[in-house]
Amino acid sequence: MIIKPRTIPRTLLQYQALEHRIPADHPKMPLIQENIRKGLAGYKGECALDYPLSFLPEKKYSILHDVRLQVDGHFFQIDSILLSEMFILLIDAKYMAGKLYFDVRFNQLIQTVDGEEKAYSDPLLQKRYHEEQFNKWLIKNKLPAAPILSLVVVSNSYTIIQTASENRDLHQNVIHHEYLPFKIKEFEEKLTKPFLTEKERRKLGQQLIKQHTTPDYPILEKLQISQSELLKGVYCPNCGRLPMKRDYGKWTCPYCQHINKDAHVLSLKDYELLIGPTITNREMQDFLRCPSESICKKLLRNMELQSMGENKGRVYVLPQNEIVFL
Ligand SMILES: [Zn+2]
């Protein structure tokens, strides 16, 4: 069963928030859009694992998605981890179109799409690194030595996987996602000796969840964009433009006439993703171009946020979880 579900990567949400908070002709816009494209492809690749993984018997496996662990001061992130009592399988999902050539001699991956070649770092090297790091993590946590297996799973059905003829065992390491249940069956046939009890497997799953950390990515600092460059106001959830107007207790879009009562919630999410986890009434008035202190106070109160301090010094804690817009 899935014990840690997948969520949209926070860095992808940050880039998406930034895209509608800077002018279209901003010099960093192409980089932001490229990172969104990459982030979405990565996320799509991870989601494509759900279907083949749904064939596995629920009771035999604990499945964890998006796990980021730390060992010896280094972080490593694994798309999916499968825990069984016989082995641990680490999965790296790749959603890449066209032709993928695994150049094992120079440790690079060459993708060809529409006659254009692009080189990427070698997923096979990363796979080895993940196995080593995971093993170190087990040792650090005083857990029993485990057979650690890993796979690079190409989750785009039409992608062609190639390598040089001397590299005959590539299919042991790289597979299409449709083949995943059969590959797991192969592992089950080879590895029959348990290294954990069922109880220990559950405990290991909980330990992984506990030690998982979300990356802290100060996006404005990383891209050298200052807060003053951000576009202010509540953006329209219908057409994406800024700013909406506050009238009669509702937000109205002057461009598409969309009316929304809760549009400020999404814009406060932008604040949390781009600027920080807390906001004062004054900061909200400025960021959302909110007409008055009393309106902001009312909106914040209705969101039932945790707060600290009193009066003008009161700071409200913005939730980090994904806000589902109604
Ligand atoms: Zn609109």
Q: Give the domain ranges of the chain.
A: 2-211, 232-317
Residue 299 CA, ligand 1 centroid: distance in Å: 21
Residue 260 CA, ligand 1 centroid: distance in Å: 10
Residue 177 CA, ligand 1 centroid: distance in Å: 39
Query: Treating both helix axes as pointing N-terminal to C-terminal, what angle do 10-19 and 263-274 enclose, rounded to 10 degrees?
Result: 110
Residue 15 CA, ligand 1 centroid: distance in Å: 21
Residue 316 CA, ligand 1 centroid: distance in Å: 28
Predicted local distance difference test score (pLDDT) of residue 104: 85
Q: What percent of the chain has pLDDT over 70?
A: 98
**Spatial separation of the C-alpha atoms in residues 15 and 103, rounded to whole Å:** 32
Q: Using 50, 70 and 90 to split pLDDT, how confident is the model at 325?
A: very low
| Confidence check: pLDDT of 324 > 80 | no
Residue 302 CA, ligand 1 centroid: distance in Å: 24
Predicted local distance difference test score (pLDDT) of residue 170: 84
Contacts of 12 (CB under 8 A, 6+ apart): 36, 39, 40, 42, 43
**Per-residue pLDDT tens over the stretch 162-196:** 888 777 778 889 999 999 999 999 999 999 999 99
| Joined tokens for residue 141 | 């946590």
Q: Which residues of 107-116 are buried (b: 16+ CB within 10 A; e: fewer)?
A: ebbebeeeee
Predicted local distance difference test score (pLDDT) of residue 322: 55
Residue 286 CA, ligand 1 centroid: distance in Å: 21
Residue 254 CA, ligand 1 centroid: distance in Å: 7
Residue 256 CA, ligand 1 centroid: distance in Å: 4
Residue 207 CA, ligand 1 centroid: distance in Å: 45
User: Region 206-227: what's the mean pLDDT?
Assistant: 94
Residue 117 CA, ligand 1 centroid: distance in Å: 40
Residue 8 CA, ligand 1 centroid: distance in Å: 24
Give me the phi and psi of 214, to 5 degrees please. Answer: -85, 135
**Spatial separation of the C-alpha atoms in residues 252 and 243, rounded to whole Å:** 9
**Per-residue pLDDT tens over the stretch 258-272:** 999 999 999 999 999
Residue 301 CA, ligand 1 centroid: distance in Å: 26
Residue 241 CA, ligand 1 centroid: distance in Å: 6
Predicted local distance difference test score (pLDDT) of residue 171: 81
Beta-bridged to residue 317, according to DSSP, are 278, 306
**Spatial separation of the C-alpha atoms in residues 266 and 49, rounded to whole Å:** 29
Q: Could you tell me if 287 and 267 are in contact, meaning their C-beta atoms sit under 8 angstroms apart?
A: yes
Number of other CB atoms surrounding residue 49 within 10 Å? 20
Residue 29 CA, ligand 1 centroid: distance in Å: 21
Distance of CA 171 to the CA centre of its chain: 27
Q: 232-317 — its CATH code? A: 1.10.10
Q: Which of 126-135, 208-217, 223-232 has the lowest mean pLDDT?
A: 208-217
| Confidence check: pLDDT of 279 > 70 | yes
Predicted local distance difference test score (pLDDT) of residue 164: 82
Which comes out higher in pLDDT, residue 326 or 36? 36
Residue 235 CA, ligand 1 centroid: distance in Å: 8
Among 129, 38, 153, which residue's Cα sits nearest to residue 75? 129
Residue 136 CA, ligand 1 centroid: distance in Å: 51
- pLDDT, the chain, mean: 92
Residue 296 CA, ligand 1 centroid: distance in Å: 21
Residue 253 CA, ligand 1 centroid: distance in Å: 5
Q: Could you tell me if 79 and 43 are in contact, meaning their C-beta atoms sit under 8 angstroms apart?
A: no
Residue 224 CA, ligand 1 centroid: distance in Å: 29
User: Region 199-226: what's the mean pLDDT?
Assistant: 94
Per residue, what are the HEC states of the chain?
CEEECCCCCHHHHHHHHHHCCCCCCCCCHHHHHHHHHHHHHHHHHHHCCHHHHCCCCCCCCEEEEEEEEEECCEEEEEEEEEECCCCEEEEEEECCCCEEEEECCCCEEEEEECCEEEEEECHHHHHHHHHHHHHHHHHHCCCCCCCEEEEEEECCCCCEEEECCCCCCHHHHEEEHHHHHHHHHHHHHHCCCCCCCHHHHHHHHHHHHHHCCCCCCCHHHHCCCCHHHCCCCCCCCCCCCCCCEEECCEEECCCCCCEECCHHHHHHHHHHHHCCCEEEHHHHHHHCCCCCHHHHHHHHHHCCCEEECCHHHCEEECCCCCCCCC
Beta-bridged to residue 246, according to DSSP, are 251
- What size, in residues, is the chain? 326
**Per-residue pLDDT tens over the stretch 45-80:** 889 999 999 999 999 999 999 999 999 999 999 999
| Dihedral sign from CA coordinates of 253, 256, 261, 263 | negative
Residue 252 CA, ligand 1 centroid: distance in Å: 8
Residue 51 CA, ligand 1 centroid: distance in Å: 36
CATH class as words, domain 2-211: alpha beta
Residue 250 CA, ligand 1 centroid: distance in Å: 13
